[in-house]
Chain A
């Protein structure tokens, strides 16, 4: 039985493709890593530079998006619970049903009454 593995099939250009390809994947994602590592600092710096209403530079401590996930989750939960209580308007909408029927001579009570009287005569 012949050997199904032919290692001589791998030529230098194949190795180049594999090595370069993997290297480029790493390189592009490393670049993304660097950009988004410095991004918060750049944005934070810009925010600190923005003057407040009185014209003073703000200190940015309350602007920085550094609250922990737990704090955000707690705030989101509280807001969700609060808003889920505000359902008065929704229920009102849901229970409103259109009572009046669109006018049509075919279902008009007046015509029916008149016709009935006419028939009696």
Chain B
């Protein structure tokens, strides 16, 4: 009888708390959104399932070595890749190997939209300070506005490791919710005439330009913000593997097998890190609110800057301000949203290719912003 009671003590039923139930429901919601509505399924399925793994209750501190925060557990070993900031640069390597910077090179002025959209990062940093967060925590929270999961994880692993779970979940949630969050802001800040602006087709880009871009980009951003080197170094390296055309096998591995493997482990461990006993705090809720704010400000920043640029541009050089929203670096979802909203205004106006330029510039911009934060605060 005592054995049965002991077995029950160790079971999930005996250790269940309302927090576990809430987190399991959130995990199920993520999985539902991913499968039913296809919101970032490659991220939300691993994260959602990770939340289920992390919130299956068990007797903590009994030496079972099960929880992600318990030294020696398998999940803890996998989580080291997140804690030590190893996974984000590897993800950036894959992103670099799959990103085509042609649209950005064909119309370089669109790079500026990617810079403008980073305003959310810095305003949210100040907002987080006002709400009582410390300097490093505020910087980590602000990066959510860059809408770049790996960058958010990378900077919080360095500046605020205790907030990684909340920040990563917030960043990836808002990336998944791009099609829900951005359109109302886009419609609010643009007129129907502006949404109909047709942009001139991008010119073809030579191979030389494509090969020079990652090298020049790395040297330039690396010299200005060395803190961004782990991320941008890998991003541009991956892109050189792709564009050089002589390392096809390496590029294929980086953009397929490697990024997929890392995404699986990253998503699962980030999800599992939301263990109810450590995750459900008032701080987490504040982080979610600030993250949403940051994301909205960044979206608005990109759109408003596009409108400002239009004041100085004429004729066919004018920019459809909808693509400004793609300055947040949720690649390629925010570009897709710009395309969808553009088609609603004019069914023959395809903005996808144009929107990819600020989109990839946003990746560079948010990584540079992260590098600057690190340089100031480390």
Contacts and interface: CB of A to CB of B under 8 A. Distances in A.
Partners in one complex: yes
Interface of A: 4-7, 9-10, 14-15, 17-22, 24-33, 35-37, 39-40, 43, 65-70, 72
What range describes how many residues of B lie at the interface? 35 or more
B109 interface: yes
Interface of A (DSSP majority class):
helix
Nearest to B221: A28
A70 B377 CA distance: 48
B245 interface: no
Which of B118, B122, B208, B212 is packed against the most chain A CB atoms within 10 Å? B122
A39 B213 CA distance: 10
B213 to A, nearest CB: 7
Contact of A68 (B203, B213, B220, B376): B203
Interface of B (DSSP majority class):
helix
B202 interface: yes
Given A29-B365, A65-B204, A9 B130 contact: yes
A9 B132 CA distance: 7
A17 B131 contact: no
Contacts of B205: 65
Interface stretch (B156-164, B187-195, B366-374): B366-374
B144 interface: no
B326 interface: no
A33 B130 contact: no
Contacts, number: 123
Given A6-B130, A14-B126, A35-B220, A29 B201 contact: no
Given A26-B115, A69-B204, A32 B220 contact: yes
Contacts of A10: 126, 129-130
B368 to A, nearest CB: 5
Nearest to B204: A65
Contacts of B119: 22
Given A22-B122, A29-B364, A9 B206 contact: no
Given A15-B126, A18-B123, A24 B224 contact: yes
Contacts of A21: 121-122, 369, 372-373, 376
Contacts of A69: 201-204, 353
B135 interface: yes
Contacts of B364: 29, 32
Nearest to A31: B220
